[in-house]
Amino acid sequence: MKVVCIGSGNVATHFSTAIAAAGMELVQVWSQSQEHAEVLADLLGATAISDKANIDLHADLYLIAVKDDAIPEMAALLAGVNGLVLHTSGATDLDVFPAAMKNYGVLYPLQTFSRTKALDFSKVPLCLEAKDETILSTLKNIALQLSPLVYEVNSPQRRILHLAAVFACNFSNHLYAIGQEILEKNQLDFEILRPLILETAEKVQHAFPRDVQTGPAIRHDEQTLLKHKELLTGMPELQVIYETLSKSIKKTV
Amino acid sequence: MKVVCIGSGNVATHFSTAIAAAGMELVQVWSQSQEHAEVLADLLGATAISDKANIDLHADLYLIAVKDDAIPEMAALLAGVNGLVLHTSGATDLDVFPAAMKNYGVLYPLQTFSRTKALDFSKVPLCLEAKDETILSTLKNIALQLSPLVYEVNSPQRRILHLAAVFACNFSNHLYAIGQEILEKNQLDFEILRPLILETAEKVQHAFPRDVQTGPAIRHDEQTLLKHKELLTGMPELQVIYETLSKSIKKTV
């Protein structure tokens, strides 16, 4: 199976590495920047290209892992190929592909990737959608070589997943950052908070979050809520966040 | 070292178990409910009591792990003992103990405990405060038998820690719950979100959250922010949370 990777960012890097590890042959890495393409291509024994005209049009699989607004152009460019063309975006519908294209689909990894942190790809949920059932079946076979966590998700559901991920991942991370900010203002090290953050996430791996909610808001502990409001004096933005989320937690009882 | 545990809830259970595992002798478990006291006492070979008059006043260590508003009464009850009396509350100052008491301090575990989930106590940060330096030194020796993560934290700092923990832990868990709510409304399983939640927490174990923030708000991706607002139509409370947190993230750049 010959694979061309379009893109050289976080998602492209982690996907290409997993693809190579699964025994598929990465033949080309394309990036607007030849230098960036080379970093990834050299790592995996592929050819680095930055000229779109040099993209091999006879590969079996094309993985488009570029910024969302660059996907339509790359999809159009590959309109005539026989290979399977996939994009990897949570916020982009299936119909970004030209209807006349033979084989296309979506392979969306619901995970947060960092260049600096190694990731066990078998822990990455892969959300699949394809032009038709036959292609979906092919796509599923490919996906299962990368991760056992494979889900069928259509375009409207993928938008919802992306939204839920913003709450559960992006917003949670921002709350960690606020925790750090509060600690540092009081000469306390973020280090002390790290085990609690990890345990909070581990707790919901086998339970539902609403069943393990703790803290003053769920206990309707008005005295502590008031004390915390006082501690946040001079930080009006954090007060608003504190009140908004506490109010929402109280309503869940 | 003879230990009396006052309380039989989550914190009492996890602490007593760690104390027994460290080779200290748990002699009594007191609880208002004899039945609850027995569950924990039987587990660890201690005597269960529910009458305050039966508390052994000649133990070496008293661990008060009851609800915050019950601490003053238990502290007063133990005013005359020679042993070291500790409370375990994040929201209660050191001066809850009568000044005339000989040996007292605080042993606050900055962690979230569930009765149903086993916890590696060596991953529990222990925050220490004591009446004086000599007692602090004794307390530190005891704490280090339970966990290597030992910090000196005074009462005002402990209040701040508790506040930071509400943001990083209680509020994050609520955002997980919102993620689940959004998914279930759209016939998607929470299971698909769990690996992302775990990876988000693992990412900040060796990095600072503000350095690894991802998502549409930090990218100032107004188009996606708008799409998400539309998806939240009919859920005004979630819209407010989405906007409040997105606004706060945008400001961090």
Task: Give the pLDDT confidence of B197-210 residue by residue, as tens digits.
Answer: 999 999 999 999 99
Question: B184: closest CA among A161, A201, A200?
Answer: A161
- Residue A160 tokens read as 């919802």
Is B111:B119 a contact under the CB 8 Å cutoff? yes
Q: Check CB contact of B233 with chain A, cutoff 8 Å.
A: no
Handedness of CA A163, A169, A174, A178 (dihedral sign): positive
Considering only CB atoms, B228 lies closest to which of A110, A163, A183, namely A163
Task: Give the C-alpha separation, A100 to B85, whole Å.
Answer: 77
- pLDDT tens digits, residue range A80-100? 999 999 999 998 999 999 999
Name the phi and psi angles at A123, rounded to 5. Answer: -100, 10
Q: Percent of chain B at pLDDT above 90? A: 92
Which residues 93-112 of A are in CB contact (within 8 Å) with B?
Answer: 110-112
d(CA A45, nearest CA chain B) in Å: 29
What pLDDT, on a 0 to 100 scale, did the predictor assign at position B15? Answer: 95
* pLDDT-wise least confident of A121-130, B160-169, B211-220: B211-220
3-state secondary structure chain B: CEEEEECCCHHHHHHHHHHHHCCCEEEEEECCCHHHHHHHHHHHCCEEECCHHHCCCCCCEEEECCCHHHHHHHHHHCCCCCCEEEECCCCCCHHHCCCCCCCEEEEEECCCCCCCCCCCHHHCCEEEEECCHHHHHHHHHHHHCCCCCEEECCHHHHHHHHHHHHHHHHHHHHHHHHHHHHHHHCCCCHHHHHHHHHHHHHHCCCCCHHHCCCCCCCCCCHHHHHHHHHHCCCCHHHHHHHHHHHHHHHHCC
What is d(CA B4, CA B57) in angstroms, rounded to the nearest whole number?
A: 9
Q: At what angle do helices A172-185 and B194-203 cross, to 10 degrees?
A: 30
User: Which of A111-120, A154-163, B144-153 shows the lowest per-residue confidence on average (mean pLDDT)?
Assistant: A111-120
* A214, closest residue in chain B (CA to CA): B170
User: Residues of A numbered 24-83 whose beta carbons fall under 8 angstroms of chain B's beta carbons: which are they?
Assistant: 68
Residue A132's closest CA among A94, A77, A158? Answer: A94
Query: Residue holding tokens 């049009």?
Result: A57
> Would you tell me which residues 127-146 of chain A have a C-beta closer than 8 angstroms to some C-beta of chain B?
127
Containing A128, the helix (H) or strand (E) segment is: strand A126-130
Q: What is the pLDDT of residues B11-27, one digit of tens each?
A: 999 999 999 999 999 99
Any A CB within 8 A of B204 CB? yes
Model confidence at A253, pLDDT cuts 50, 70, 90, reads low
- pLDDT for the residue numbered B117: 75
Which of B124, B146, B197, B219 is best to mutate for the A interface (most A CBs within 10 A)? B197
Give the number of other CB atoms < 10 A from CB of residue B172. Answer: 30
Asked if B204 lies within 8 A of A194 by C-beta distance, the reply is yes
Q: With an 8 Å Cβ cutoff, are B214 and A169 in contact?
A: yes
User: pLDDT tens digit string along B88-132?
Assistant: 999 899 999 999 999 999 999 999 887 777 788 999 999 999 999
Contact B173 A252 (CB under 8 A): no
Taking an 8 Å cut-off on Cβ atoms, the answer to whether B232 and A165 are in contact is: no
CA triplet B116, B195, A124: central angle to 5 degrees? 150
The verdict on B235 touching A (C-beta cutoff 8 Å) is: no
User: What's the pLDDT score for residue B253?
Assistant: 65
Tell me the C-alpha distance between B172 and B185, whole Å. 20
Digit-coded pLDDT (tens) for A95-144: 999 999 999 999 999 998 877 777 889 999 999 999 999 999 999 999 99
Mean of pLDDT values over A29-51: 97
Within 10 Å of residue B159's Cβ, how many Cβ atoms? 21
User: Within 10 Å of residue B214's Cβ, how many Cβ atoms?
Assistant: 18
Structure tokens at A88: 């990897």
Nearest CA of chain A to the CA of B225: how many Å?
9
Give the distance from residue A235's alpha carbon to the nearest chain B alpha carbon, in angstroms. Answer: 12
Residue with tokens 């506490």: A246
Contacts of B250 in chain A (CB under 8 A): none
Chain A positions touching B159 (Cβ under 8 A) are 227, 231
If 0-12 CB within 10 Å is exposed, 13-18 middle and 19+ buried, where does residue A100 land? exposed
pLDDT at B70: 95
**Given B68, B149, B199, which is nearest A112 (Cβ)?**
B199
Question: Is the Cβ pair A192, B217 closer than 8 Å?
Answer: no
How far is B167 from chain A, CA to nearest CA, in Å? 6
Q: Looking at residue B252, what is its pLDDT?
A: 87
pLDDT of A151 higher than 70 = yes
pTM of the model: 0.91
Instruction: Name chain B contacts of A182, Cβ cutoff 8 Å.
Output: 160, 163-164, 167
Q: How far is A41 from chain B (nearest CA, A)?
A: 25
End-to-end Cα separation, chain B, in angstroms: 53
Give the integer Cα–Cα distance in Å for B159 and A186: 11
User: How many A×B Cβ pairs under 8 Å?
Assistant: 304
pLDDT of residue A118: 77
Q: How far apart are CA A33 and CA A37, in angstroms?
A: 6
Q: How confident is the model at residue A29 (pLDDT cuts 50, 70, 90)?
A: very high
B28-55: pLDDT as tens digits: 999 999 999 999 999 999 999 999 999 9
B203-B205-B210-B216 Cα dihedral, nearest 10 degrees = 20
* pLDDT tens sequence across A172-209: 999 999 999 999 999 999 999 999 999 999 999 999 99
Q: Which residues pair with B2 in a beta bridge?
A: B25
Nearest CA in chain B to A205: B194
A179 contact B CB<8A: yes
A197:B227 CB<8 A: no
**Nearest alpha carbon to residue A129 among A111, A156, A162:** A156
Percent of chain B whose predicted confidence (pLDDT) is above 70: 100
Question: Which of A105, A151, A104 has the alpha carbon at shortest distance from A124?
Answer: A151
SS3 A146: coil
Q: Do A241 and B242 touch (CB under 8 A)?
A: no
**pLDDT at residue A229 is higher than 90:** yes
